[in-house]
């Protein structure tokens, strides 16, 4: 059973962040007056399935949208431009940190074979704990996998879904890419820095290695399946976005999901890489908003 924590669990974001000695760009002064748009972002934790899950929340729209981060990700490191700019009149935006990631620690992150299923249940139970009747999902990469599983397992609870950089199975080619990112000292500073600040070097490096081992498990399952058998169970309207210059996730993954999620739409971004929602934030936000509304 999930319980919403009382006032003590809820902090204003700046308090939390000053404790972390970091300040994501979405907290810098906004172009629009804060009062006109209710641009405040709150940070809170709620007890769900035996852990305290952390989330950011902003907006006052009727349409609830959950943002699901990628591997090692968190709301603040992965979704700055979405938290800042998604329409706050139309949407109530929640960005969560899956257990073991971001500020949803303890526990330390682990990767049992059902870790995506566990994340999917945690994500849905978090939104139910926050009293949302139905939600849409914006899932990036690992968060896209989690979103697919949540949509398949809890069809009556998911309204619409946008996913990008996700894959439903693991191939030989994928495994080689995974091994290439195992050693975080080889990551670009730009990608590495926010995560190192969030976690400290050791937890970051160790958890990345654990993630590679965790995701490689699927390679040894029949068809390398992460969730391919679940795709036909997805019922919600689904938009798959793919960056044609994504160096991590080859095009065939997006095509496969498009083929097996009935009625899904595939939108290609020719210049998009894996982080297309950050690099082309305005274009991505408009695409997502138009699809969701």
Chain positions 114 to 173 lying near ligand TYC, rule: CB under 6 A, are 141-142
Please say whether the beta carbons of 28 and 56 come within 8 A: no
Q: 94 forms bridges with which residues in the sheet?
A: 57, 66
Residue 220 is a catalytic residue: no
Closest CB to ligand TYC among residues 10, 181 = 181
278 near ligand TYC (CB under 6 A): no
C-alpha to C-alpha distance for 8 and 271, rounded to whole angstroms: 45
181 near ligand TYC (CB under 6 A): yes
C-alpha to C-alpha distance for 16 and 83, rounded to whole angstroms: 16
C-alpha to C-alpha distance for 86 and 17, rounded to whole angstroms: 21
Please say whether the beta carbons of 16 and 27 come within 8 A: no
C-alpha to C-alpha distance for 89 and 63, rounded to whole angstroms: 9
The active-site residue, picked from 159, 253, 274, 277, is 274
136 Cβ partners below 8 Å, 6+ apart? 63, 64, 65, 66, 158, 159, 160, 161, 162, 236, 292
Print the binding letters for residues 221-250 with ligand TYC: x by CB under 6 A, - otherwise.
---------------------------xx-
Residue 274 is a catalytic residue: yes
Residue 141 is a catalytic residue: yes
The active-site residue, picked from 63, 174, 246, 264, is 246
174 near ligand TYC (CB under 6 A): yes
Give the binding range for ligand TYC (CB under 6 A) out of 59-67, 82-90, 112-120, 177-185: 177-185
Closest CB to ligand TYC among residues 59, 165 = 165
Question: C-alpha angle with apex 167: 183 to 176, nearest 5 degrees?
Answer: 35
Chain positions 43 to 82 lying near ligand TYC, rule: CB under 6 A, are 70-71
Query: Smallest gap, in angstroms, from Cβ of residue 174 to ligand TYC?
Result: 5
C-alpha to C-alpha distance for 253 and 19, rounded to whole angstroms: 40
Closest CB to ligand TYC among residues 53, 249 = 249
The active-site residue, picked from 63, 141, 159, 253, is 141
C-alpha to C-alpha distance for 25 and 129, rounded to whole angstroms: 29
Closest CB to ligand TYC among residues 64, 215 = 215
Collapsing DSSP to helix, strand or coil, 58 comes out as: strand
Residues acting as catalytic residues: 141, 246, 274
- Which residues of the shown chain bind ligand TYC in the complex (CB under 6 A)? 70-71, 141-142, 174, 177-178, 181, 248-249
């Amino acid at each position: 059973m999930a319980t919403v924590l009382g006032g003590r669990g809820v902090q204003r974001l700046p308090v939390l962040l000053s404790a972390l000695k970091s300040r994501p760009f979405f907290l810098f002064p906004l172009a629009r007056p804060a009062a006109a748009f209710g641009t405040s972002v709150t940070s809170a934790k709620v007890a769900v399935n035996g852990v305290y899950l952390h989330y950011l929340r902003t907006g006052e729209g009727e349409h609830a949208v959950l943002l699901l981060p990628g591997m090692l990700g968190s709301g603040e490191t992965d979704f700055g431009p979405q938290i800042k700019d998604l329409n706050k009149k139309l949407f109530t935006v929640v960005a969560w940190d899956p257990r073991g990631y971001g500020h949803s620690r303890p526990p330390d992150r682990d990767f049992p074979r059902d870790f995506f299923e566990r994340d999917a249940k945690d994500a849905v139970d978090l939104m139910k704990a926050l009293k949302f009747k139905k939600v849409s999902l914006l899932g990036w990469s690992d968060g896209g996998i989690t979103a697919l599983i949540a949509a398949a397992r809890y069809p009556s609870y998911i309204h619409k879904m946008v996913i990008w950089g996700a894959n439903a199975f693991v191939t030989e080619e994928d495994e080689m890419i995974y091994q290439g990112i195992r050693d975080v000292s080889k990551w670009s500073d730009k990608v590495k820095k926010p995560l190192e600040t969030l976690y400290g070097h050791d937890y970051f490096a160790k958890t990345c290695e654990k993630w590679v081992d965790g995701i490689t498990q699927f390679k040894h399952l029949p068809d390398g399946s992460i969730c391919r058998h679940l795709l036909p169970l997805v019922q919600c309207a689904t938009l798959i976005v793919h960056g044609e210059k994504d160096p991590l996730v080859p095009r065939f993954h997006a095509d496969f999901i498009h083929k097996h999620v009935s009625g899904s739409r595939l939108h290609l971004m020719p210049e998009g890489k894996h982080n297309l929602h950050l690099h082309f934030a305005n274009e991505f936000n408009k695409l997502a908003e138009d699809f969701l509304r």
